[in-house]
Structure 1
Amino acid sequence: MARKGVPEEVRDGVLDRFADVGLVDDAAYAKAWVESRHSGRGLARRALGYELRKRGVEPAVAHDAVQSVDPEQEAATARALVDARLPSTRRLDPVARTRRLTGLLARKGYPPGLAFRVVREALESDGVDGMDLPDDFLAD
């Protein structure tokens, strides 16, 4: 409204009225946005929080919304992303597969420990042996 030249007192009145009737609710918006982006794009909690803050949501509101994604749900989503991409990596050697799959998860904001653990489990279930990663890779 500021860019359209609406006077400040009119803007404030309109926004206050919208808030009173529930049309402006950052917490509800953030929670719905987190649910949509996590299930739709598979974004991790870290990426979700970053994007909410980038959109102007207050850090405390963004933090509360991101906490609605529990760690087990985040791990399950990471595994689903890896399982979907796994077949396209079958012609690659295990190191390249690990690099590609962990890169996928890293771009979506997953912590390195979780990413390596999920990729290792997926590769082992796909019949790849010898994925001996150092223990420090598995720390979240």
Structure 2
Amino acid sequence: MEPEPEPEGGGTEAQAKDACLRLLTDRARSRHELETRLAKKGFTPTVTAAVLDKLAAAKLVDDGAFAEQWVRSRHVYAGKGKQALSRELRHKGVSIEDSSAALEQIDSEDERRRATELVRKKCRTLSLPDADAPDARAERDKTVRKLVGMLARRGYPQGMAFAVVKTELDRLGADTEDFDGDRFG
């Protein structure tokens, strides 16, 4: 029996399937991610589509399930907020419908709770200035910008980030009476 001829410009469906299965052993991937990787390996769009359709039928490629798992994992372990997660899913080629459904598993209270955990963890390594020090307000404002910026980079809304930081600094005994959220925007 002769081996299956390689299509021009790429490999066989069996080779593409093997490549996908190797990629899926590392972690779940979106269909778009697999398409991109197969294209880089030189597989034709026809071979790629056929293989991905078969893997989808076998439930090995499912963007909805991928999005749910991605959101849960990145929110819990990487501390990402909904905005960042939405960007990541869009970058991975997940549809708006699948992204929206996955992001619904995080409500604003979950997001606030996770932001609070991140700020508390960061506050353990920061030294808050003594309220009586001459540059206490400037140092406190610098700390606020650092903490709000950390949350913003992780995809938390600015208003929530500022409120969480203010609450946590109050809890730690920092003077926040003169806070003005617009000053930190």
Q: The TM-score by the shorter chain falls in which range?
A: 0.7 to 0.9
Distance 1:100 1:19, change over 3 A: same
- Match 2:79 to one of 32, 35, 42: 42
Give the number of the structure whose alpha-carbon radius of gyration is greater.
2
> For residue 63 of structure 1, what is the aligned residue in structure 2?
100
> For 1:46-67, what per-residue CA distance to the aligned partner results, in whole angstroms no more than 9, with x for missing partners?
0000011011111221122112
Instruction: Give the alignment of 1:7-86 within 5 angstroms.
Output: 7-86=44-123
Query: d(CA) in 2 for partners of 1:6 and 1:130?
Result: 59
CA deviation digits over 1:75-109, x for unaligned, max 9?
A: 00000000001122224432121111111111111
Matches within 5 A, 1:67-106: 67-92=104-129, 93-106=139-152
Task: Please tell me the residue identity of whatever aligns with 2:152.
Answer: A
Listed as ranges, the gaps of 5+ residues in structure 2 are 1-37, 130-138
User: Identity, % of aligned pairs?
Assistant: 39
Secondary structure (helix, strand or coil) at the match of 1:2 reads helix
CA distance in 2, matches of 1:4, 1:103: 39
What SS class does the counterpart of residue 83 from structure 1 fall into? helix
Distance 1:28 1:130 in 2: 43
Task: Give the RMSD, CA atoms, in angstroms.
Answer: 1.9
Distance 1:130 1:7 in 2: 60
Q: Which amino acid aligns with 1:30?
A: A
Q: Equivalent residue of 1:80, what SS?
A: helix
AA aligned opposite 2:75? H
Provide the secondary structure at the position in 2 that maps to 1:56.
coil
Please list every run of 5 or more consecutive structure 1 residues that lacks an aligned counterpart in the other structure.
none
Distance of 2:81 and 2:156 partners within structure 1: 5
**Contact 2:148/2:162 (8 A) holds in 1:** yes
Matches of 1:119 and 1:58, distance apart in 2: 33
Helix, strand or coil at the partner of 2:176: coil
Contact 1:78/1:105 (8 A) holds in 2: yes
Deviations 1:1-47 (A, max 9, x none): 33444444433322221111101100000110111110111000000
The CA distance in 1 between the partners of 2:181 and 2:42, in whole Å, is: 59
